[in-house]
Structure 1
Amino acid sequence: MLNVQNLHVYYGAIHALKGLNFHLEQGEIVTLIGANGAGKSTTLNALSGLLAAREGKLEFEGEDITRTPAQDIVRRGVIQVPEGRKIFATLTVMENLEVGAYLHPDKAQIEKDIESVFKRFPRLKERRNQLGGTLSGGEQQMLAIARGLMSHPKLLLLDEPSMGLAPILVEQIFEIIRDINDQGTSILLVEQNAQMALSIADRAYVLETGQVVLEGDAQEILHNPMVMEAYLGGH
């Protein structure tokens, strides 16, 4: 479904991704793990068309999207839920969801989608007329994911969904991610909480300074001594 070949991305003079290679099959959850600055968010931003590739190739469903503008990548069904949630603080929950549906002008379909989002996130239904900025961190994360789902993603790019959340909420968010995947959406997950990410992923890639240093089945990576030492606190 997704094929990344020899991807090089720069921030000014900084060489952030140095020949990155990885792939994702339809229906998988693939996670990218690594320390801060390893290039995980940069990878998602390059896939979203928010950062230009200096070199390399990005393919989605067999088509080259390396030079495709961000809005057209969204139209193809690649949707990012960004780090830090980036919800619209001065819009209500409902308005945030409607913004997520801007690709689908069919009013009846939007209403259906909002109903299905509310079924998955009952808390958002209770808060539907509240401003996004007044929600708790966990509710904002739910809203960010729900807004992403309003665009009918084929591939959902999740950037640090558990950041800043209490452990009980982290478990809830990961259950939701697994459920979204069970409903047929492929997921590329970037996550500091390597333990949680590896527990729900099919496969994983470990990034260091813009390169893949390890890849494989998520369970194997979870029990790899190097990974345990570096990312799981030696447990």
Structure 2
Amino acid sequence: MLLEVKNLHVHYGVIHAIKGVSFNVEEGKIVTLIGSNGAGKTTILKTISQILNQTEGEILFLGNSMSDYQPHQIVKMGISQVPEGRRVFPDLTVLENLQMGAYYRKDKEAIAKDLETVYMRFPRLKERTNQTAGTLSGGEQQMLAMGRALMSHPKILLLDEPSMGLAPILVDEIFSIIDDIHRAGTTILLVEQNANRALHVSDYGYVLETGKIIAQGKATDLLNDEKVKEAYLSA
């Protein structure tokens, strides 16, 4: 198993945000965590990346515990996160942002090849390669954040609300790119409030509510589950 989360508990001070969550991400799959705002989805991703520390439980990557690693070491292991709200470096150019994604890598030829792959996947980024990231549109910044994460050559990509704040036509484009990244061989853990779109591109899903998993199954089964449809897919 590529990623295993076992009995995860996370606290913000006295607030018990994540309450015994367990799930797996198999290599080569897209797994999605769906749930309403505040359910704990982002907290789980931040804990996997060791930006937050769990108070109980275990996170295993390729069978190895990650509790003793720092966030930059997590990236080097092969886990890269696209954070909620994009979080690009606004005063750096598009090219400089992408180069930051490969900051720990020494394989110059492979980095150059990956940069060309990112530019092929996101042609608008190539057009704006010398433009500062803060002047890009929201959709372009989302593409840049995804491209930057891909420059680390991850084994698994953590996507946190990639469609947030985007116009419907850009949402279509972002989900098409997610599908393309997956088809190219990257495993994806997707956190997304747009449950309908997330489940349509995913293999398996978990439904999170107030820090607990209340349902799970194949994405096609969840799409047809009456309770899930009523709570999360009716919009």
The two structures have a TM-score, normalised by structure 2, of 0.98
Residue of structure 1 equivalent to 2:27: 26
1:115 CA drift (Å): 1.0
Residue of structure 2 equivalent to 1:186: 187
**CA distance in structure 1 between the aligned counterparts of 2:221 and 2:67, rounded to whole angstroms:** 31
Indicate if the aligned counterparts of 1:52 and 1:67 stay in contact, CA closer than 8 A.
no
Task: Report the 3-state secondary structure (helix = DSSP H, G, I; strand = E; otherwise coil) of the residue aligned with 2:31.
Answer: strand
1:103 CA drift (Å): 1.5
5 Å-filtered alignment, 1:47-196, equals 47-196=48-197
Q: Which runs of 5+ in 1 are unaligned?
A: none
Deviations 1:34-62 (A, max 9, x none): 01111100000000010001000100111
1:105 CA drift (Å): 2.3
Stretches of 4+ aligned residues off by more than 6 angstroms: none
The two structures have a TM-score, normalised by structure 1, of 0.98
Amino acid at match of 1:108: E
**CA distance in structure 1 between the aligned counterparts of 2:29 and 2:67, rounded to whole angstroms:** 22
Amino acid at match of 2:112: E
1:74 CA drift (Å): 0.8
**CA distance in structure 2 between the aligned counterparts of 1:56 and 1:154, rounded to whole angstroms:** 23
1:222 maps to 2:223: yes
Residue of structure 2 equivalent to 1:4: 5
1:71 CA drift (Å): 1.2
Deviates more, 1:157-166 or 1:111-120: 111-120
**CA distance in structure 2 between the aligned counterparts of 1:215 and 1:106, rounded to whole angstroms:** 40
Residue of structure 2 equivalent to 1:204: 205
Residue of structure 2 equivalent to 1:46: 47
Task: Report the 3-state secondary structure (helix = DSSP H, G, I; strand = E; otherwise coil) of the residue aligned with 1:188.
Answer: strand
**What's the RMSD between the two structures over aligned residues?**
0.9
Q: Which runs of 5+ in 2 are unaligned?
A: none
Task: Report the 3-state secondary structure (helix = DSSP H, G, I; strand = E; otherwise coil) of the residue aligned with 2:134.
Answer: helix
Amino acid at match of 1:222: L
Amino acid at match of 1:216: G
**CA distance in structure 2 between the aligned counterparts of 1:193 and 1:96, rounded to whole angstroms:** 27
Deviations 1:112-134 (A, max 9, x none): 21111101110000010100000
1:17 CA drift (Å): 0.3
Indicate if the aligned counterparts of 1:92 and 1:131 stay in contact, CA closer than 8 A.
yes
Task: Report the 3-state secondary structure (helix = DSSP H, G, I; strand = E; otherwise coil) of the residue aligned with 1:110.
Answer: helix
Determine what percentage of the aligned residue pairs are the same residue: 59
Deviates more, 1:102-111 or 1:113-122: 102-111
Task: Report the 3-state secondary structure (helix = DSSP H, G, I; strand = E; otherwise coil) of the residue aligned with 1:85.
Answer: coil
Residue of structure 2 equivalent to 1:17: 18
1:225 CA drift (Å): 1.0
Indicate if the aligned counterparts of 1:48 and 1:70 stay in contact, CA closer than 8 A.
yes
